[in-house]
Chains A and B, each alone.
Chain A
Amino acid sequence: MTNNTVNSDLTLQEAVQENPMINEFVVRFANTNGTGSASANNMFAKAILRMGIPVSAKNIFPSNIQGMPTWYEVRISEKNHLGRRGGKSEMIVAMNAQSLNDDIESVKTGGYLLYDSSRALSDSQIRADINYLGMPISNICLKEYSDPRQRQLFKNVIYVGALAALLSMDFTLLKGLVRDQFKGKEKLITPNVYALELGYQYANEHFICPLAIKVESRDLVNNRILVDGNTATGLGAVFGGATVTGWYPITPSTSVIEKFASYCHRLRIDPASGKKNYAIVQVEDELAAIGVAIGAGWNGARAFTATSGPGVSLMTEFLGLAYFTEIPFVLVNVQRSGPSTGMPTRTQQSDVLACAYASHGDTKQVLLFPESPSECFEFGSQAFDIADQLQTPVIIMSDLDLGMNDHLTEEFSWQDDKAYQKGKVLSAEQLDEVEVFGRYLDVDDDGICYRTLPGTHPDKGAYFNRGTSRNHFAGYTEKSADYVDNMDRLTKKFINAINFLPEPEIKQGKKTAQLGLILFGTTSHPIAEAVEQLKEQGLVADCLRIKAFPFHHSIEQFIEEHSVNNKQVFVIEQNRDAQMKSLLVNELQIDPNKLASILNFDGLPVTSHFIVQSVLAQLAANQENKKTG
Chain B
Amino acid sequence: MSFIKSKFQHPRLPVNDLGLTYRDYEGALSTLCAGCGHDALTSAIIQACHELSIQPHRVAKISGIGCSSKAPNYFLNKAHGFNSVHGRMPSVATGANLANQDLLYLAMSGDGDSASIGFGQFAHVVRRQLNMVYMVANNGVYGLTKGQLAATADKGVKNKAGDLSLFNDIDLCVMALQLGASFVARSFSGDKQQLVPLLKAAMSHKGFAFIDIISPCVTFNNHAGSTRSYDYVHDHVTTGAVADFVPVKTEITSSAESGECEDICLHDGSIMRIQKLNEEYDSTNASQAILDIEKNRQEGKILTGLFYLEPTASDFHEVNDTNTTPLNKLNQDALCPGNRVLAGINDSFR
List of B residues within 8 angstroms of A288 by Cβ? 88, 90-91, 94, 120-121, 124
Pairwise interchain contact B350-A226, C-beta atoms closer than 8 A: yes
How does the 8 Å CB contact mask read for A317-328 relative to B, with 1 for contact and 0 for none?
110010000000
Closest to A232 in B: B349
CA distance A145 to B92 in the complex (A): 54
- A318 & B88 in contact (Cβ 8 Å cutoff): yes
Cβ of A530 within 8 Å of any chain B Cβ, yes or no, is no
Find B339's partner among A296, A303, A414, A459 (CB 8 Å cutoff). Answer: A414
- Encode contact with A along B99-125: 1 for CB under 8 Å, 0 otherwise: 110110000000000000000110110
- The reply to whether B320 and A276 form a contact with Cβ atoms under 8 Å apart is yes
The answer to the question of B128 belonging to the interface, with a C-beta cut-off of 8 Å to chain A, is: yes
The answer to whether A452 has its CB under 8 Å from any CB of chain B is yes
Within 8 A of A (CB), among B168-224: none
* From B60, B81, B98, B103, residue with most partner A Cβ within 10 Å: B98
Point out the residue from B28, B60, B91, B322 that lies within 8 Å of A455, measured CB to CB: B60
Let me know if A465 and B83 touch, CB within 8 A.
yes
- A477 CA to B334 CA in the complex, in Å? 42
Q: Pick from B82, B124, B341: contact of A465, CB below 8 A.
A: B82
Contacts of A227 in B (CB 8 A): 349
In the complex, the answer to whether A246 meets B94 with C-beta atoms within 8 Å is yes
Q: Is the CB of B335 within 8 A of A455?
A: no
**CB neighbours of A411 from chain B (8 A):** 346, 349
B11 at the A interface (CB under 8 A):
no
Would you call A445 an interface residue if the criterion is a C-beta within 8 Å of the partner chain's C-beta atoms? no
A295 touches B93 (CB 8 A): yes
> Which of B238-246, B253-261, B269-277, B324-332 forms contacts with chain A?
B324-332
Min CB distance A422 to B, Å, is 10
Q: Which of A287-303 contact B (CB under 8 A)?
A: 287-303
Question: How long is the Cα–Cα vector from A275 to B334 in the complex, in angstroms?
Answer: 12
Of the candidates B90, B96, B123, B327, the one whose C-beta lies within 8 Å of that of A298 is B96
Centre residue among A276, A412, A466 by max chain B CB count within 10 A: A466
- For A220, the chain B residues whose CB sits under 8 A away are none
Question: Does B9 touch A at the CB level, under 8 Å?
Answer: no
Q: What 1/0 flags go to A446-474 for Cβ under 8 Å of B?
A: 00000011111111001111111000000
Q: Chain B: how many interface residues by the 8 Å CB criterion?
A: 64
Question: Which residues of the partner chain A approach B72 to less than 8 Å between Cβ atoms?
Answer: 464
- Docked-complex contact B328 and A300, CB < 8 angstroms: yes
Assess the A241–B336 pair: CB atoms within 8 A: yes
The one of B95, B339, B346 in contact with A416, judged by C-beta atoms closer than 8 angstroms, is B339
The answer to whether A300 and B99 touch (CB under 8 A), given A275-B323, A466-B83, is yes
A514 to B57, CA, bound (A): 63
List CB contacts (< 8 Å) of A377-426 with chain B: 411-416, 419-420
**How many chain A residues touch B (Cβ–Cβ < 8 Å)?**
74
A244 x B60 contact (CB < 8 A): no
Nearest B residue to A373 via CB reads B349
* Shortest distance between the CB of A78 and any CB in chain B (Å): 18
A49 within 8 A of B: yes
* Nearest-CB residue, chain A, relative to B317: A279
- Chain B residues contacting A463 (CB-CB under 8 Å) are 80-81
Q: Which of A66-74, A107-115, A265-273, A489-497 contacts B (4 or more CB under 8 A)?
A: A265-273
Q: Which residue of B73, B83, B120, B327 contacts A285 across the interface (Cβ within 8 Å)?
A: B120
Given contacts A288-B91, A455-B60, A464-B73, contact A412 B128 (CB under 8 A): no
Determine if A357 is an interface residue (Cβ-Cβ < 8 Å): no
Q: Do A225 and B80 touch (CB < 8 A)?
A: no
A419 / chain B contacts, CB cutoff of 8 Å: 332
Q: How far is the CA of A178 from the CA of B334 in the complex (A)?
A: 35
* A475 interface residue (CB < 8 Å to B): yes
Which residues on A sit within 8 Å (CB–CB) of B57?
Answer: 454-459, 462
22 CB contacts below 8 A, A to B, read: A221-B350, A239-B342, A268-B337, A276-B322, A276-B323, A277-B327, A284-B121, A291-B88, A291-B92, A294-B84, A294-B92, A295-B92, A296-B95, A296-B96, A296-B99, A301-B98, A303-B95, A454-B60, A454-B80, A455-B60, A462-B81, A464-B61
7 further A-B pairs in the complex, CB-CB below 8 A; given A235-B345, A296-B98: A267-B337, A279-B317, A287-B121, A294-B92, A300-B100, A301-B99, A464-B81
